[in-house]
Chain A
Amino acid sequence: MNIVTKAVAAELSDRARRAAKVAGEFADAVDREGRFPREGMDALKNERLMSIQVPGELGGEGASMQEIAEVCAILGQACASTAMTYAMHQIQVASIVGYSGNSAWHADFLKRLCDEQVLIASATSEAGIGGNLRNSVCAIEVDGDTVRLEKDATVISYGEMADAILITSRAHKDAPPSDQVSTLFLKGQYTLEHTRDWDTLGMRGTCSDGYIFRGEAPKEQILPRPFAEIAAESMLAVSHLLWGALWYGIAADAVNRAQSFVRAAARRQPGSTPPGALRLAEASSLLQQVKGNVVAGLRQFEEAKTDANKLSAMSFAVAMNNVKVGTSQTILTIINHCMLINGIMGYKNGTPYSLGRHLRDAHSAQLMISNDRILGNTSTMLLVHKQDTSLIG
């Protein structure tokens, strides 16, 4: 990193911290009421953090995936629902920035994203596809220059609050389920008929309700590249990395709270080591593993990002899957350690050492794209993939 990029990164982190402070103040209310993290998201817009991934020539800041991951990690320490909403938005931005080719419409949209700090939602889930986002039942109907789509979307996170929805479908009415395209519909071009409530254990503020989506838009709003490419080369990797970053953030805040608890106990009885201290050391070691896992994945992504062959390589897919499975499992162990350290003060809500929200939010990690599905996918690849045994690569 040269001095200039370092200064930009520091400035991004400062902006993210200011937004995180706001998000943190409302985290418990968002969780309790299961409502959209409006204050945190408005703070992100005020700091112009929605558009940092857009290239400079379109009015953005051309932020790297590492910089975006840092923002997610900072937010994750304050409010996981805000962090997840932001991460999901950035995953959509990555698809549009990377896969809209020379489409003038999408370039204009990205400029608008910078000017208005719009929020983009995603609609990949659908009734009848068995949780596999690489399949669609619905097909986009092309009628001259107009396209129409109706989709029974089992989940559209923050769908009602979004300014645009990037939605998958079969490419045409005769296409097989895996021949998919992604189309960006703008608010006003679609209606959402509410079908399913989002009343969950954790991540309650993402408001991932289900809807029947009905939209009509100009044909040029279809992303020119097939969704198969977008999923294989960008979406899965970016999802695992940004989620991993914010999950790290949740666990890091839990460890902070456990450390405060141990420190307070140590101050009360100088000269003796509090009982939780050893377990805190263990949690700290596990947290470092999570961090190392995410950072190594980000580094691998930065090295591969300009090379479609590297991005679609099996070795890369295995590595990204491992980042996801490893981080999502380990954060639960870490937060459980912290709970043992903080005891009843961690179990209770509303104390400085409370960990209930962390634990509940963290439980979503192994389910959003089920770890069992990912392990199944990795195990298939391991039938032919030869592992790279080098340490540094």
Chain B
Amino acid sequence: MSTAETVRKIVATHGKLPVDVGTIADDGDLYSAGLSSFASVQLMLAIEEEFDIEFPETMLNRGTFASIASIAKAVDTISAEQQAA
């Protein structure tokens, strides 16, 4: 399963979106789709757990959680950095 697909599953479980996640494109705006700031934190915690990573402070902003694609990109970046370290 690609990172984006896993992220999509987690968004479906923890995003608490008022719409079906299947209707949102990978680059679709999650905030417009109804992602609240509270749900974005829950989502972040679930992603940290799933991928065994920790989001650095510099990535804790709206941009990182704007879309499934941007979350997947952040996850891949952090995973690569953690493996290199």
Q: A residues near B, CB below 8 A?
A: 134, 171, 175-179, 226, 228-229, 232-233, 308-310, 312-315, 377, 380-381, 383-386, 388
A176 to B57, Cβ gap below 8 A?
Answer: no
Majority SS of interface residues in chain A? loop
Check if B18 is an interface residue, CB within 8 A of chain A: yes
Check if B83 is an interface residue, CB within 8 A of chain A: no
A313 to B61, Cβ gap below 8 A?
Answer: yes
Nearest-neighbor residue (CB-CB) of A132 within chain B: B36
Selected from A309, A310, A377, the residue in CB contact (under 8 A) with B37 is: A377
Count contacts on B: residues with CB < 8 A to the other chain: 22
| A372, B35: Cα distance in complex, Å | 22
B34 to A380, Cβ gap below 8 A?
Answer: no
A380 to B37, Cβ gap below 8 A?
Answer: yes
Which 4 residue pairs across A and B have the least CB separation, nearest first? A176-B34, A312-B62, A314-B60, A176-B18
B60 to A176, Cβ gap below 8 A?
Answer: no
List B residues 58-77 near A (Cβ within 8 Å). Answer: 60-63
Q: B residues near A, CB below 8 A?
A: 17-19, 31-38, 41, 44-45, 48, 55-57, 60-63
**Which A residues lie within 8 Å of B36 (CB)?**
134, 178
Nearest-neighbor residue (CB-CB) of A176 within chain B: B34
| A315, B59: Cα distance in complex, Å | 11
A226 to B32, Cβ gap below 8 A?
Answer: yes
A179 to B33, Cβ gap below 8 A?
Answer: yes
**Which B residues lie within 8 Å of A308 (CB)?**
62-63
Shortest CB distance A178–B (Å): 5
Shortest CB distance A123–B (Å): 21
| A171, B29: Cα distance in complex, Å | 14
| A98, B18: Cα distance in complex, Å | 29
Selected from B31, B35, B48, the residue in CB contact (under 8 A) with A226 is: B31
B45 to A228, Cβ gap below 8 A?
Answer: no
**Which B residues lie within 8 Å of A134 (CB)?**
36-37
B57 to A385, Cβ gap below 8 A?
Answer: yes
| A226, B66: Cα distance in complex, Å | 13
Shortest CB distance A130–B (Å): 12
User: Among A178, A232, A381, A386, which residue has the most Cβ atoms of chain B within 10 A?
Assistant: A178
A313 to B60, Cβ gap below 8 A?
Answer: yes
**Which A residues lie within 8 Å of B18 (CB)?**
176-177
Selected from A175, A232, A381, A388, the residue in CB contact (under 8 A) with B41 is: A381
| A386, B55: Cα distance in complex, Å | 10
**Which A residues lie within 8 Å of B55 (CB)?**
384
Nearest-neighbor residue (CB-CB) of A314 within chain B: B60
A314 to B19, Cβ gap below 8 A?
Answer: no
